[in-house]
């Protein structure tokens, strides 16, 4: 027991000495930094007296650093506001990290420091709040892509996301040319494949035994009566049969977001219910009444007609944009 006591005492002493050493090193480094700053300031002050041009450059550097700090602080406040207004609905995972990745924070700080307008500050604020809600959503590549997006591609992507359902957009609702889709693919925001990607509907029946094709995400669902099928399924109105019967199932062609696109789309406001309604309205065209219906989770099914197609999407209210900030002359 005495041997154990002595061993324990030595470990405690060693731990205490290690803590004292770290504290002493930290104090020494801090004192050195303060002396260097004071000496540098003195030398700079002496040189500035005889060099007005150097004084102007120094003021520009200090002014730029102050603006960058203001930009970061403003973006951070907007992130906090977004977290308050839209708290996470998902329970924290047991292995969820307590702190954000330092590499992410360093890169975010770099980009946010150049956000001089409210619109761009809101963009970087939403990115930070999204990363806090779900760590790992934004890789360094995603942050770089967002920062480098040109004006035209950003507007295209916002238009694309207005018809988004989950991580894809039905070809029936695309409204973009092949050239515009290629631009989004080259920017790494959507997947470009040789063969069309598809989403399959499930085979189901209602209480009366009527057979339906059904598809749903977390909040919304859509059903299409199997007999008779809407005329659009058997026509060639859309290229490569954007909606079709294949392998005994109803399928629609879709364009999917890339991993970068999924992360970026998460910060763009959009109306998923509106996208479901427009999809249902396109399919309902020339179909018998009551052949297609949609549902909000927890509500009853509501029949959709082609008239609902009039509610076309609009790319936001102008208060939020992915458009990259144009740096000022000082930066």
Give the model's confidence band at 255: pLDDT under 50 very low, under 70 low, under 90 confident, else very high. Answer: very high
Contact in structure between 305 and 281 (CB atoms under 8 Å):
yes
Cβ atoms within 10 Å, residue 2:
6
Q: What is the pLDDT of residue 201?
A: 92
Q: Quote the CA–CA distance of 123 and 11 in Å, as a whole number.
A: 51
Give the model's confidence band at 328: pLDDT under 50 very low, under 70 low, under 90 confident, else very high. Answer: very low
Q: Which of 19-33, 45-59, 310-324 has the lowest mean pLDDT?
A: 310-324
SS3 string of 68-135?
A: HHHHHHHHHHHHHHHHHHCCCCCCCCCCCCCCCCHHHHHHHHHHHCCCCCHHHHHHHHHHHHHHHHCC
Q: Which of 190-199, 247-256, 300-309 has the lowest mean pLDDT?
A: 300-309
Whole-structure pTM value: 0.67
Please provide the average confidence, as pLDDT, over all residues in the chain: 79
Q: Where are the beta strands (DSSP E) in the chain?
A: 168-170, 197-200, 202-205, 211-216, 220-225, 243-246, 249-256, 292-296, 302-303
What would the pLDDT profile of 140-197 be if each residue is shown by its tens digit? 988 998 888 888 898 899 999 999 998 999 999 988 888 999 999 999 999 988 788 9
Mean pLDDT over residues 76-94, rounded?
Answer: 75
Judged against a pLDDT cut of 60, whether residue 280 lies above it is answered with yes
Report the candidate in 88, 96, 164 with the shortest Cα–Cα distance to residue 130: 88
Give the model's confidence band at 218: pLDDT under 50 very low, under 70 low, under 90 confident, else very high. Answer: confident
What would the pLDDT profile of 33-65 be if each residue is shown by its tens digit? 778 777 776 766 666 666 666 666 665 666 677
Judged against a pLDDT cut of 90, whether residue 323 lies above it is answered with no
Residue that the structure tokens 């730029």 belong to: 64
Q: What is the pLDDT of residue 12?
A: 61
321: which DSSP letter?
A: -
Q: Which of 26-35, 74-83, 267-276 has the lowest mean pLDDT?
A: 26-35
Give the model's confidence band at 238: pLDDT under 50 very low, under 70 low, under 90 confident, else very high. Answer: very low
Give the model's confidence band at 307: pLDDT under 50 very low, under 70 low, under 90 confident, else very high. Answer: low
Judged against a pLDDT cut of 70, whether residue 227 lies above it is answered with yes
Judged against a pLDDT cut of 70, whether residue 93 lies above it is answered with no
| Most trustworthy range by pLDDT among 12-26, 50-64, 71-85, 281-295 | 71-85
Q: What is the pLDDT of residue 156?
A: 92
Tokens of 309: 């197609």
């Amino acid at each position: 027991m005495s041997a154990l006591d002595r061993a324990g005492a030595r470990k405690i002493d060693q731990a205490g000495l290690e803590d004292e050493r770290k504290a002493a090193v930290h104090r020494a480094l801090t004192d050195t930094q303060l002396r260097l700053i004071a000496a540098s300031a003195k030398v700079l002050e002496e040189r500035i007296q005889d060099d007005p041009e150097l004084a102007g450059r120094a003021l520009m550097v200090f002014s730029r650093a102050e603006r960058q700090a203001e930009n970061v602080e403003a973006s951070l406040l907007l992130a906090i506001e977004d977290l308050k207004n839209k708290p996470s609905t998902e329970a924290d995972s047991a292995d969820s990290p307590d702190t954000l990745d330092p590499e992410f924070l360093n890169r975010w700080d770099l980009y946010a420091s150049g956000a001089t307008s409210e619109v761009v500050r809101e963009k970087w604020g939403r990115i930070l709040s999204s990363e806090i809600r779900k760590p790992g959503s934004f890789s360094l590549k995603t942050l770089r892509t967002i920062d480098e997006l040109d004006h035209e591609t950003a507007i295209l992507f916002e238009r694309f996301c207005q018809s988004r359902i989950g991580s894809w957009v039905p070809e029936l609702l695309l409204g973009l040319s092949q050239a515009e889709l290629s631009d989004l693919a080259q920017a790494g925001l959507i997947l470009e494949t040789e063969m069309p990607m598809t989403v399959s509907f499930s085979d189901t029946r209602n209480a009366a035994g009527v057979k339906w094709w059904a598809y749903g995400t977390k909040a919304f669902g859509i059903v299409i009566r199997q007999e008779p099928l809407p005329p659009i399924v058997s026509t060639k109105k859309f290229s490569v049969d954007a909606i079709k019967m294949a392998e005994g199932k109803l399928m629609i062609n879709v364009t999917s977001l890339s991993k970068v696109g999924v992360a970026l789309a998460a910060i763009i406001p959009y109306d998923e219910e509106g996208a479901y309604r427009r999809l249902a309205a396109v399919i309902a065209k020339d179909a018998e009444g009551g052949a297609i219906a949609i549902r909000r989770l927890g509500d009853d099914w509501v029949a959709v007609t082609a008239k609902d197609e009039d509610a076309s999407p609009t790319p936001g209210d102008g208060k939020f944009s992915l458009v990259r900030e144009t740096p000022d002359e000082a930066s």
